[in-house]
Amino acid sequence: MSNPTGVYSNRVLKQKFNHSTDEMSFVWPPIHDSILSKRRNQKRSKVSISTNVNDQTMSPIPISNDSNTER
């Protein structure tokens, strides 16, 4: 594992659920993939949000003078 967070997570799960090394070799890969996927999605959403904010222009909302308004 090249990711120190992944190593830490692996150890925490192993200790918390009292899994053996064999059990962890079975349980860990899908959990690790899920963690990485969530991290990628969070990075994408941050980039998407910052891009959307930068692309939007600040323009005033036009005020319409409709004759339908009653006084």
Convert the pLDDT of each residue in 24-62 to its tens digit: 999 999 999 998 999 889 888 877 776 665 555 555 566
pLDDT over 50 at 1, yes or no: no
pLDDT over 60 at 71, yes or no: no
8 Å CB contact between 6 and 35: yes
Cα dist from 9 to 4, 15, 23, whole Å = 9, 10, 15
Phi, psi of 2, deg, nearest 5: -85, -20
pLDDT (average), residues 58-68: 60
Q: Helix/strand/coil (H, E, C) string of 1-31? A: CCCHHHHHHHHHHHHHHCCCHHHHHHHHHHH
State pTM to two decimals. 0.50
Instruction: Look up residue 12 and give its two tokens.
Output: 């925490």
